[in-house]
Amino acid sequence: MASGPEPVIEPVIETRGLTKRYRGGQLAVDGLDLVVPRGSVFGFLGPNGSGKTTTIRMLMGLIEPTSGEARVLGEPMPRAGGRVLPRVGALIEGPALYGFLSGRDNLVRYDAADPTADPRTRAARVADALDRVGLAGAAGKKARAYSLGMKQRLGLAAALLQPRELLVLDEPTNGLDPQGMREIRALVRGLAAGGTTVFLSSHLLDEIEQVCSHAAVMARGRLLTQGTVADLASSTRGRLAVTTPDTADAVRVLKEHGVNDLAVADDRVTGELPTGTPPPDLADLNAALVRADVRVRSFGTERVSLEDAFVALTGEGFDVAG
Ligand SMILES: Nc1ncnc2c1ncn2[C@@H]1O[C@H](COP(=O)(O)OP(=O)(O)OP(=O)(O)O)[C@@H](O)[C@H]1O
Ligand SMILES: [Mg+2]
């Protein structure tokens, strides 16, 4: 097989120094360099007010950046919006609805406003979108009688009326109950499996962990980090955790093998794994314990969550900036 350079797959979203200063001086997005790979489910994570919606509005050409560039599907935004936006499904904060129309008729109207939408397949596509977001049973109800979660589902249905290369969803599970959140996560996974790139914002860390392959973390308008979710979580290393009745011996043996910061709580010994290349083999550590007659009930590393990574990155909790 010919070995050449890997083909370069253009990112679906790419920004360089993207910056937005609102009138009144608020620097909402500050020099953002974002790269969203094709085929990813990309979580755009940050606390309230960190600049997620502002970024999404710039990506969709709804507001002009103060400086910097944004490319979506390889084209500059907002300049190429006319070509780009028909290929993108978007749900952006508080979808506009006609309260006097039913959910179904809102979608019909929305679809009719899209020059690329085929009117012959409209009714079927509307029914399918309602079904996918779990609104089929409430489709005939007036939108003004919809709950927040139902409105959110309807907004999502609008983004699903046509197959799209890219879905941009601003807090898609906002206002949904736990069951609704699970349904939306399943929907997003299904869309991604079908080849759609999904870019979704959230302030819920565990939501990002459950559904996303990649993530970027924002705080106060700045990008703290981006990459695969697995890399982000492993950038803060896990602690070793051993459950044993022989805690004193376990501490001694682990210390001899370079484990630091050892702590004992009841029958549980935890510690910081030694660094070094190659990293220590956990199997060797376990064998050393057993050789020293330490009776091991469980042995492993504690899972590091994205939340731990976030706290490690920011040195603070997941709070709104003042
Ligand atoms: N139209 C506006 N005019 C002035 N300032 C704004 C405007 N919209 C947002 N901001 C400010 O910009 C900052 C970022 O807001 P943005 O809505 O982008 O955050 P977010 O990450 O989407 O937050 P949330 O999680 O609450 O949706 C905030 O400090 C906000 O007060
Ligand atoms: Mg927002």
pLDDT tens by residue, 183-236: 889 889 989 999 999 999 988 877 888 899 999 988 889 998 899 988 877 665
> Could you tell me which residue, 313 or 84, shows the higher pLDDT?
84
**The pLDDT of residue 314:** 64
pLDDT for 10-19, tens place per residue? 899 999 999 9
- 121 conformational bin, left if phi > 0, alpha if psi -120 to 50, beta if neither: alpha
**299 contacts 286 by C-beta, under 8 angstroms:** yes
d(CA 227, CA 168): 18
Q: Which of 20, 30, 50, 169 for a ligand 1 pocket mutation test, highest count of atoms within 8 Å of Cβ? A: 50
The token duo for 66 is 């103060």
The answer, yes or no, to whether any atom of ligand 1 lies below 6 A from the CB of 153, is: no
| Partners of 76 in beta bridges | 71
Domain span(s) for CATH 3.40.50.300 in the chain: 13-234
Q: Write the residue with the smallest CA distance to atom 10 of ligand 1.
A: 28
Q: Which atom of ligand 1 is nearest to the CA of 46?
A: 21
**Summary count for the chain: helices (H), strands (E):** 11, 15
User: Residue 187: what residue type?
Assistant: L
Please state, for a pLDDT cut of 70, what percent of the chain lies above it: 87
pLDDT given for residue 24 in this prediction:
86
- Angle subtended at Cα 13 by Cα 208 and Cα 34, rounded to the nearest 5 degrees: 65
Q: What is the pLDDT of residues 241-262, one digit of tens each?
A: 999 999 999 999 999 998 988 9
The pLDDT of residue 110 is above 70: yes
pLDDT at 246: 96
Contact 109, 154 (CB under 8 A): no
CATH 3.30.70.100 in the chain is located at 239-303
Minimum-distance ligand to the CA of 318? 1
Element holding 318 (H helix, E strand): none
Q: Is 28 near ligand 1, meaning CB less than 6 Å away?
A: yes
Centroid of ligand 1 to alpha carbon of 319 (angstroms): 14
What is the mean pLDDT of the segment spanning 127-134? 94
Which ligand 1 atom sits closest to the C-alpha of 55? 18
Distance from the CA of 261 to the center of ligand 2, in angstroms? 40
Compute the distance from residue 51 Cα to the ligand 1 centre, in Å: 6
Tell me, using a 6 A CB cutoff, whether residue 138 lines ligand 1: no
pLDDT at 161: 94
pLDDT for 274 equals 78
Q: Is the pLDDT of residue 322 over 50?
A: no
Number of Cβ atoms within 10 Å of the Cβ of 255: 12
Q: Which CATH class is domain 239-303?
A: alpha beta
CB atoms within 10 A of CB 5: 5
pLDDT band for 175, please (50, 70, 90 cuts). confident
**What's the pLDDT at 262?**
92
Strand duo 268-272 + 239-243: pairing: antiparallel
Shortest-distance atom of ligand 1 to CA 29: 14
Ligand 1 midpoint to CA 214 (Å): 23
In whole numbers, what is the pLDDT of the chain averaged over residues?
A: 88
Q: Which of 30-44, 266-280, 297-311 has the highest mean pLDDT?
A: 30-44
**216 beta partners:** 44, 226
Residue 301 Cβ < 6 Å to ligand 1: no
Q: Bridge-partner residues for 44, per DSSP?
A: 201, 216
Q: In the CATH hierarchy, which top-level class contains the domain 13-234?
A: alpha beta
Paired with 21 in beta bridges are: 27
d(CA 288, CA 293): 9
| Rounded distance between C-alpha atoms, residue 176 and residue 47, angstroms | 18
Confidence band (pLDDT; 50, 70, 90) for 306? low
Whether the per-residue pLDDT at 70 is higher than 80: the answer is yes
From the CA of 21, the nearest ligand is 1
pLDDT score of 321 more than 60: no
Ligand minimally distant from the alpha carbon of residue 52: 1
